[in-house]
Amino acid sequence: MKIRSPKIILIIIILLLTIMPFFWLKPGEMDLGGDGGRLYFYDPVNQIKNLALYNRCAFGIGTIDSPFSYLPFIGILAIIKTIVTSSYILICFHNALKLAVGFLAVYAIVKQFIGGFNKNNSLGVELASMIAGLFYLSTPAMTENYVKAIATHDQVFLNPLMFYLLLRFALSGKMKYMWIALIVGLVFSVSFSYMGAPSFFAFYPLAFIFILFYGTFIRHVKFPWRKLLLTFVWFFGLHAFHLIPEASDLFTFGSNSNTRMFNIESITSQIGYFYAILHIPKTSFYLFSYSLTRFLGQVAFVVPLIVVLGLIFNKKKEKTMLLVFVFFLVTFFFVTGKVTVVGIKIYEWFFHVPGFSMFRNFYGQWQFVYYFFYSLLFGLAFYSVISRIKSRIFLKCLFLFLVIFFTISSWQFINGSLVNPFREDANGVKAAIIMDPNYENTLKFIRSMPDDGKILVLPFSDSYMQVIHGLNNGVYVGHSTIGQLTGKNDFAGYQGIFPYSDTFWQLSKEKNYKAIKKMFGILNIHYIFYNSDTRIYDTAFPGRPYSPNYVRKFMPPDQAGYKEYIGNLSSEKIFESGFYSVYKLEDKSSLPHFYTAQNILFYKDDPKLTGYGKTLAFFKGNIPERPVYIESQNCKKLFKQEFCREDSNFPMTDSPKIQFEKINPTKYKLTVSNANNPYILVFSEAFHSNWKIYAGVAKEKNTFFGKDIFETFSLNSISNDRHFIANGYANGWYIKPQDLGGKQEYELIIEMTGQRIFYVSLIFSGIIFIIFVLRGIIFFDIIKKRKK
Amino acid sequence: MKITIFFLRKYKSVIMTLVVLGIISDIFLIRFKSDLITFAILALVFFSFKFYKITSKMTFLLGIIPTVIIFLYFLVDSESLFVEKAAIWLFLLLGLGIIQELFISKKNEKI
């Protein structure tokens, strides 16, 4: 091969990287599964409606969540999908973006670095920069996480891209680089959200310090602090729509994020987790170049050897390389976690720093940063070595050898077998699915069902996963789809049905269908979705997510057993299409989303029970009609002490009649009549102190965003003292007639106030975005005029 | 004192051999991870390099030893303790080399 121009090689590499992902999947196939779920590629519009717009989870009991950072990315996907119509193209394009931009950015950074100290040997500069980019693409962080990639996997191209833009900004002081970085950052907001915090804090502080040192001590440029400050202001303005709700959640006592960040017990458990997984990362593994091809194991030696030789040949003591090397060593320490016993102790100490517990899965979170700096180091070391080589033929041969090595060692990744593999946990099925139209019809039907009532997904899984077999031999195994795509909360597995998980399994094992129906009532489950496909439960998945030692021990062992199980719970099949059917549960056992309690039952919490088994403390024996279970500590706050004897039942007669209407998933309207006495109102949605009741007439109707979204601002809510956890998870309010001025007929508004924070933040971000775009247009226009 | 310095200067090759043997024996002969031993040998490396005014280039060259050990054992038994210890030594030696280089470049700047 004769290298006429390195630019041609560069263009060929970029073209290949862009085209490659389109061959990983067959047209129509989609890789949607995984822990994080990637259903936004399949149905972005419904994902926005049900997942990204509300301060509440679309799964299970509806815990409070702030998924707003998904909004820009899914919004753009929705727009692109109206043009290209194919989810397959969206997925391929997204993968191509990761590859091509990741490569190009690393290439550009290394070129920038070498260009900073060497203006000659342009061939060597080009080859070293390309080699660094290719090495970056061949690292495990890049090759191993494409299948079922979570949203923050975008860091594989965002990290180098943002680094490059910040570097150019630091060296030139030009705001255009930051303008591009801000726009890119806004589109991929998830990587800058609470969800993306581990990847963000692993990379950006180090990247910033590096660039600061590089600019100040090596390139001797004055760092544009003022402009950087302005960039931060823009950043917080543009990202306010998700950062403010997330911050509010973080500082709300008892929230998931608050507990994880500040709870000392939680920190102890994070340290325990750190030690439990410490044996997994191997220091040697991270030093050697990783090869997916076994017989190339010997050649993996080449990369660290080139690095060592590069350091030896670095006669001029080129500082850039030294600086990169320092950062390489720092990230090596973080990714391996066990550089000497002292190192381990220091690492443990870091966990006491608030927020560091986000790195408990340290090797997974630091690997992207580590391989980024390794790639830069490798590029510089390679240049250091080849700058000693006088023979151009030898230089080209060495380049070719490394290109071939990286290509062969990543061959499984290149040919797509790593991106769409046969599932390890299943028999002969792949990860990419062609969606069954029958399932799509079922989703359409579920969307048309009444608002009230949640859905139980059967077969039931170990966790929160749902399994759907495609028209091809691909299977979706991921976060339950029904809640995300229809807006009806669903319970797909053990973790999803928290805190009734153990109770449900126990009752199912005992075949106590009467109690199961009562439990469904308390959870507001009105429907059963059943997938009768024998491939998913009887043949393809003998293990996870239907493990024989877990879910199958309690739930029916096969599809025939499930048919019998469902027959005992419901006889009313209201929909069927292919393998998929929907059953309605009997009305008499169902409880609506809002109900007034007829029987109050008190219980004492058993601290020995885990969160998943908490309800075993009270859900037993005969369950009366319209019950509400109250923990005795809560009872003492609400009622007189003598009233709160454990295992006692107090009937509440003369409860008022209520009717309710859903305005949106975070706001409901309630009409109450005949409220002569105090009563307990139960709202079967996960307890959160931000759920508030206001006395007033709701004007807003079935909308996400209207002129009346702030109508409750001027209203007084019912005292927080009478808001308690009902039935082990739900919201309960003890309402007295004097709360409503002694009225017997009135209207109430129940609202999740966290959603209002989102509205305010969204309006703020929207205004900032408009100013930002206008500023950008003026800015780029001025540049054009200046050029003229 | 003078005799000691004289002795050390005369037997540079012996001391350097001891340093190399120290690293190799920590990797191969000691069947457990001990910071005390590792840091004692590292201190020996550091002070002997300082005493003999050995440059960072030599430190990096020394780094080739653990690299080769990792290479050889990685193929046979990647889970081996030798491999892990060699990797740690590579990290420490390269780190030491970098510190030396940084000191030199700082000195050069002052000059």
B-chain CB neighbours of A288 within 8 Å are 70-71, 74
Mutate to test the interface with B, among A213, A216, A220, A284 (most CBs of B within 10 A): A284
pLDDT at residue number A151: 86
**Distance to chain B for A147, nearest Cα, Å:** 26
C-alpha closest to that of A169 among A258, A232, A238: A232
3-state helix, strand, coil in chain A (%, to 5): 55, 15, 30
Find the CB nearest A312 among B61, B74, B83: B61
B-chain CB neighbours of A319 within 8 Å are 105
Residue A322 to residue B102, Cβ atoms within 8 A: yes
Residue A305 to residue B67, Cβ atoms within 8 A: yes
Asked if A326 reaches chain B (Cβ–Cβ under 8 Å), the answer is yes
Asked if B60 reaches chain A (Cβ–Cβ under 8 Å), the answer is yes
Residue B97 to residue A288, Cβ atoms within 8 A: no
> What does the block give as tokens for A444?
């359409």
For residue A315, the chain B residue with the least C-alpha distance is B57
| Strand, helix or coil for residue A551 | helix
Please give the Cα distance from A520 to A21 (Å, whole number).
45
Pick out chain A residues at pLDDT < 50.
Answer: 1
Q: What is the largest CA-CA distance in chain B?
A: 50
Asked if B19 reaches chain A (Cβ–Cβ under 8 Å), the answer is no
Residue A386: which region, alpha, beta or left (left: phi > 0; alpha: psi -120 to 50)? alpha
Q: Is the dihedral of CA B48, B49, B50, B53 positive or negative?
A: positive
Asked if A283 reaches chain B (Cβ–Cβ under 8 Å), the answer is yes
Contact status, residue A238 vs residue A768, Cβ threshold 8 Å = yes
pLDDT at residue number B1: 66
Asked if A339 reaches chain B (Cβ–Cβ under 8 Å), the answer is yes
**Distance to chain A for B96, nearest Cα, Å:** 11
For residue B103, the chain A residue with the least C-alpha distance is A317
Please give the Cα distance from A672 to A592 (Å, whole number).
15
Output DSSP code: residue A584.
Answer: E
Asked if A288 reaches chain B (Cβ–Cβ under 8 Å), the answer is yes
Mutate to test the interface with A, among B59, B67, B73, B108 (most CBs of A within 10 A): B67
pLDDT at residue number B18: 86
Hunting for tokens 């991921």 — which residue is that?
A478
Q: Is the dihedral of CA A518, A522, A526, A527 positive or negative?
A: negative
> What does the block give as tokens for A621?
């024996």
A-chain CB neighbours of B74 within 8 Å are 284, 288, 297, 300-301
**Distance to chain B for A306, nearest Cα, Å:** 10
Output DSSP code: residue A650.
Answer: E
Find the CB nearest B35 among A288, A314, A340: A340
Please give the Cα distance from A197 to A193 (Å, whole number).
6
Contact status, residue A127 vs residue A398, Cβ threshold 8 Å = no
Residue B84 to residue A284, Cβ atoms within 8 A: yes
**Distance to chain A for B98, nearest Cα, Å:** 6
pTM of full prediction above 0.95: no
Residue B63 to residue A319, Cβ atoms within 8 A: no
Contact status, residue A33 vs residue A477, Cβ threshold 8 Å = yes
Residue A288 to residue B74, Cβ atoms within 8 A: yes
pLDDT at residue number B78: 63
Residue B101 to residue A304, Cβ atoms within 8 A: no
Contact status, residue A434 vs residue A28, Cβ threshold 8 Å = yes
Size of interface A-B (CB pairs under 8 A): 85
Residue A288 to residue B83, Cβ atoms within 8 A: no
Please give the Cα distance from A453 to B16 (Å, whole number).
78
**Distance to chain B for A379, nearest Cα, Å:** 17
Asked if A312 reaches chain B (Cβ–Cβ under 8 Å), the answer is yes
**Distance to chain A for B30, nearest Cα, Å:** 14
Residue B91 to residue A329, Cβ atoms within 8 A: yes
Residue B91 to residue A282, Cβ atoms within 8 A: no
A-chain CB neighbours of B61 within 8 Å are 312
pLDDT at residue number A238: 97
Bridge partners (DSSP) listed for residue A433: A30
**Distance to chain A for B10, nearest Cα, Å:** 27
C-alpha closest to that of A106 among A408, A380, A305, A289: A380
pLDDT at residue number A330: 94
> What does the block give as tokens for A457?
């997904």
Find the CB nearest A284 among B83, B104, B105: B83
> What does the block give as tokens for A728?
């082990």
Residue B74 to residue A319, Cβ atoms within 8 A: no
B-chain CB neighbours of A341 within 8 Å are 33-35
Find the CB nearest B104 among A282, A286, A317: A317
User: Which residues in chain B (63-92) have CB-CB distances under 8 A to chain A?
Assistant: 63-64, 67, 70-71, 74-75, 78-79, 83-84, 86-88, 90-91
Asked if A297 reaches chain B (Cβ–Cβ under 8 Å), the answer is yes
A-chain CB neighbours of B86 within 8 Å are 284
Residue A308 to residue B94, Cβ atoms within 8 A: yes
Residue A317 to residue B108, Cβ atoms within 8 A: yes
Residue B35 to residue A326, Cβ atoms within 8 A: no
For residue A332, the chain B residue with the least C-alpha distance is B91
Write the pLDDT tens digit of every residue in B44-65.
888 888 888 888 888 888 888 8
| Strand, helix or coil for residue A171 | helix
Asked if A117 reaches chain B (Cβ–Cβ under 8 Å), the answer is no
**Distance to chain B for A150, nearest Cα, Å:** 29
Residue A287 to residue B70, Cβ atoms within 8 A: yes
pLDDT at residue number A1: 47
Asked if B103 reaches chain A (Cβ–Cβ under 8 Å), the answer is no
For residue A303, the chain B residue with the least C-alpha distance is B67
Helix axes A753-787, A240-250, angle to 10 degrees: 140
pLDDT at residue number A252: 78
pLDDT at residue number A295: 62
> What does the block give as tokens for A592?
């609506």
Residue B67 to residue A311, Cβ atoms within 8 A: no
Pseudo-torsion of CA A611, A612, A617, A621, nearest 10°? Answer: 160
Asked if B35 reaches chain A (Cβ–Cβ under 8 Å), the answer is yes
| Strand, helix or coil for residue A577 | strand
pLDDT at residue number A784: 66
